[in-house]
Amino acid sequence: MLSEEHNRLLTRVENNAPAGKLLKNYWQPAALLDELEGPRPVKALRLLGLDLVLFRDEQGRLGLIDRDCPHRNADLAFGRLEDGGIRCPFHGWLFDVNGKCLDTPAEPAGSPLCQNVRQRSYPVEARSGIVFAFLGEGEPPAFPEFDCFIAPDSHTFAFKGLVECNWLQALEVGMDPAHASYLHRYAEDADPDAGYGKPFRGVSANSNLPITKVLREYGRPRIDVEQTEYGLRIVALREIDQTLTHVRVTNIAFPNAFIIPLSEDMTISQWHVPVDDVNNYWFAIFTSFKGPVDKQSMRAQRLAQYDLPDYRSKRNRENNYGYDADEQKRATYTGMGHDVNAHDQWAIESQGRIQDRTREHLGQSDKAISAYRRILRAEIEKCQAGQAPMMALSAEQAATHRGPVAVDGLARNVEPEAFWKNLDAERRAVAPWPSRSPMAAE
Ligand SMILES: [Fe+2]
């Protein structure tokens, strides 16, 4: 439970609110590279309460600038991509990717007005299918050498989805290992071979045990939470019998991402980035340690569940998430189909546009959430005091961040910690990128 004041402090981002200021210290996912495909690579964005335009100029350079033209504030998202930048259709003012004014054609020849005008621009960098933006002051931090950033393009796939509520409650699902036993419970186990690209569908590594069965039958995980240099490591243990323990290792990469296993071979690195106080996008990089990712089928699976161009879930508030009371009795815990993203969408959005945490009652299963909120508050306060928050990394520091370990498997007659370290090392040994152990970094 939080006081109203603390709930406000941790959730609000608009108008440079303290949490918004904190989030501006980091590279944040702004768009998928896919969204700049096609004949007119211009995309209007709202990010942390700012209205922006992302575009690719004729030379292929990416630019992110404020959306309102500095002349008389018309909308640059309708601009003409030409002559080395984006041109406002109102009076033809032209800006390049750095926000430099190149032309004010309605002004007298030789007018110096152009030199006195600059549109605010923000650094952008494309990584693993996502355009990341830095909306803060000064120099952007370096990217940590996490697997999702250093894997080759062939081994990653990126997608996004709109969540119509505050960012924090969405992120809090990703650090909650207990909910999967309930929210994502199925009466019957799916065919693991048909589960490519889908969470909680395969068998637990090192076993023939379907993950769906483990989650269904073992609903009281022991949860160990450890603070790390990058955020939190969360280890959930489900004791099957005296010799077998199901082990799931997930992470919070501070401030607003989680890194979790998808399957034996893949992980999900997922950000929840605020659009404003009451909307956020999830951006995920799926990283394969074994073969290349089948991007076509990953994309087709997700396009069946989301409507473009906003990437809005087809199951949403307006249609009660497709809730079916009969299905809820027979087949799924929610009555909302078999896609876990739809379950999460309902859970998060049903908490309200901004969850009122003065009314919640946390239990033992929520200990990672409590731990995260303590860190978030401390880092917001650091920022307010003018200090650099954690994970705002220099290039030197970034090079020491790797992994992190995100695995799901069945430990047999072995200590869970030895088991997950070994499982990670085995998988890392076949990965086609420098396979330095993430554990050596700590
Ligand atoms: Fe979930």
Query: Which tens digits make up the pLDDT trace of 399-416?
Result: 999 999 999 999 998 999
Distance 200 CA to ligand 1 centre (A): 9
Mean pLDDT of 305-320: 97
Measured CA to CA, the distance from residue 85 to residue 95 in angstroms comes to 5
pLDDT band at 206 (very low <50, low <70, confident <90, very high): low
Residue 171, amino acid: L
Give me 58's structure tokens: 């004729």
Q: Are 177 and 184 in contact (CB under 8 A)?
A: no
Distance 371 CA to ligand 1 centre (A): 19
Q: How many domains does the chain have?
A: 2
Distance 419 CA to ligand 1 centre (A): 24
- Res 348 pLDDT > 80: yes
Average pLDDT, the chain: 94
Distance 77 CA to ligand 1 centre (A): 35
Cα dist from 69 to 72, 86, 95, 123, 242, whole Å: 6, 10, 9, 19, 67
Mean pLDDT of 138-162: 97
Distance 179 CA to ligand 1 centre (A): 6
Distance 209 CA to ligand 1 centre (A): 20
Looking at 110, 134, 158, the residue that finishes a domain is 134
Q: Are 58 and 93 in contact (CB under 8 A)?
A: no
2 domain residue, yes or no: no
pLDDT band at 373 (very low <50, low <70, confident <90, very high): very high
Distance 182 CA to ligand 1 centre (A): 9
Distance 356 CA to ligand 1 centre (A): 20
Distance 180 CA to ligand 1 centre (A): 6
pLDDT band at 208 (very low <50, low <70, confident <90, very high): confident
pLDDT band at 187 (very low <50, low <70, confident <90, very high): very high
Mean pLDDT of 30-41: 96
Looking at 134, 157, 185, the residue that finishes a domain is 134
Which positions ≥6 away from 4 have C-beta within 8 Å?
358
Tracing tokens 């995980």 back to the chain, one arrives at: 221
The whole-number pLDDT of residue 204 equals 73
14 domain residue, yes or no: no
Distance 199 CA to ligand 1 centre (A): 9
18 domain residue, yes or no: no
Tracing tokens 């998988």 back to the chain, one arrives at: 427
The CATH number covering residue 121 comes to: 2.102.10.10
pLDDT band at 195 (very low <50, low <70, confident <90, very high): confident
- Res 31 pLDDT > 80: yes
- Res 438 pLDDT > 80: no
H helices present in 322-407, as ranges? 325-330, 340-349, 367-384, 395-398
**What digits encode the pLDDT tens for the residues 108-127?**
999 999 999 999 999 999 99
Inter-axis angle of helices 4-11 and 367-384, nearest 10: 70
Distance 60 CA to ligand 1 centre (A): 38
Mean pLDDT of 32-56: 97
Distance 74 CA to ligand 1 centre (A): 41
Q: Running DSSP on this structure, what letter comes out for residue 153?
A: G
19 domain residue, yes or no: no
The whole-number pLDDT of residue 272 equals 98
139 domain residue, yes or no: no
Whether 129 and 150 map to the same domain: the answer is no
- Res 356 pLDDT > 80: yes
3 domain residue, yes or no: no
User: Residue 226 is inside which H or E element, if any?
Assistant: strand 222-227
12 domain residue, yes or no: no
Percent of the chain with pLDDT over 70: 98
The whole-number pLDDT of residue 357 equals 98
Whether 362 and 271 map to the same domain: the answer is yes
Distance 102 CA to ligand 1 centre (A): 48
Mean pLDDT of 311-333: 97
Whether 192 and 228 map to the same domain: the answer is yes
Ranges assigned E (strand) in 7-155: 27-32, 42-47, 50-56, 62-66, 80-82, 85-87, 94-95, 101-103, 121-122, 124-127, 130-134, 145-146
Ranges assigned E (strand) in 277-395: 279-288, 306-307, 312-313
Measured CA to CA, the distance from residue 284 to residue 258 in angstroms comes to 9
Whether 184 and 69 map to the same domain: the answer is no
pLDDT band at 190 (very low <50, low <70, confident <90, very high): confident
Distance 341 CA to ligand 1 centre (A): 7
Tracing tokens 């299963």 back to the chain, one arrives at: 365
Of 345, 31, 297, the closest CA to residue 159 belongs to 31
- Res 435 pLDDT > 90: no
Distance 342 CA to ligand 1 centre (A): 9
Whether 338 and 374 map to the same domain: the answer is yes
Q: Which domain holds residue 110?
A: 27-134
The whole-number pLDDT of residue 205 equals 67
Ranges assigned E (strand) in 130-221: 130-134, 145-146, 156-163
379 domain residue, yes or no: yes
Whether 298 and 391 map to the same domain: the answer is yes
- Res 350 pLDDT > 80: yes
Three-state secondary-structure class, residue 275: strand
Mean pLDDT of 402-431: 93
Give me 341's structure tokens: 């993203």
Looking at 115, 134, 153, the residue that finishes a domain is 134
Distance from chain centroid for Cα 256: 7
Measured CA to CA, the distance from residue 248 to residue 205 in angstroms comes to 10
